[in-house]
Structure formats: C-alpha cells, structure tokens
Amino acid sequence: MFIDSSALVAILLEEEDMPDLRAKLKRSRRYTSAIVIYETVLAVARNRNKSVAEAEAIVAALLKAFRVQILPIDFRHASAALAAFSRFGKCTKSKASLNMGDCFSYASAQIQNVPLLFKGNDFSETNIPKA
C-alpha cells in the first residue's frame, strides 16, 4: 500500500482512528514518498509544537518501525499527478478537491498499482483503491 500523509499524521498525533490505521500498516508492503514525508513532518512540527528536526526524527522513527519503503519521484509521477489534478484537483468540479501532495500520493499509488492508505473523504471521491 502507499501511505498518504493524512494517515501518518493521524497515527503520530494519536487521533481516534490511530489503532485502525496502525493495524493496516502491518498488513502488506508499505510505500511512501519524500513529498509525503515533507507534509507529515511539517504537520507534526506544527501540531506538536516541535522543531522541524524533532518532527523529522519522529516521522523517521515511525517509517523505520513499520519498514516503509521510500519511493523515488520521477517524471512519470509528475505526469500522473498532473492527470490526477486535472480530474480531481482543487480547481475542478470534483468533490475530491485534491491538493498537490494528494495528487502525488494518488499518482504514486497508481504507478505502484497498490491501494492508498489515507484519512478523510478526499480520496474516496476518486477511483483509487482504498487500503
């Protein structure tokens, strides 16, 4: 599965659905990207009143504990993210209203041909399989 920042943030901030999300992390191969890490670190720093370096260490520890593989981002991802934005982006009539990070998570899951682990309703409005 590809893990979106919304799922990682929910786990790290110990939101109510954390146990379910953690359980899903144990089920299959896990992937994420540098863009997801960036978004997650900033959210943890902001919400936990930590420095970026402290938040980065917290995120890195979680990724290591669950053996999450960091996928490279290349032109295929940019192209797929742009296609996702054209269909589901904030400037479209789609209820998904995906932002840049969401579009890259969508693209990465699509390219890896794996479901997406996320929190919220935005990706539910797309055709990406849910983890």
Q: Is the pLDDT of residue 43 over 90?
A: yes
Q: Taking residues 98-114, report their average pLDDT.
A: 95
pLDDT band at 41 (very low <50, low <70, confident <90, very high): very high
**Percentages (nearest 5) of helix, strand, coil residues in the chain:** 55, 10, 35
**Which pLDDT belongs to residue 108?**
97
Packed helices 100-112 and 34-48: angle between N→C axes, nearest 10 degrees = 140
Contact of 118 with 104, CB cutoff 8 Å: no
The token pair that represents 28 in the structure block: 């299959």
**Which pLDDT belongs to residue 95?**
81
For the chain, give the mean pLDDT: 94
**Which pLDDT belongs to residue 27?**
84
- Decide: pTM greater than 0.75: yes
Query: Three-state SS for 2?
Result: strand
Tens of pLDDT, residue by residue over 49-94, are 999 999 999 999 999 999 999 999 999 999 999 999 999 988 888 8
CATH pick for 2-120 out of 3.40.50.720, 3.90.1110.10, 3.40.50.1010, 2.40.50.140: 3.40.50.1010
The token pair that represents 1 in the structure block: 């599965």
Share of the chain above pLDDT 90, in %: 85
Q: Taking residues 99-114, report their average pLDDT.
A: 96
Of 93 and 30, more confident:
30
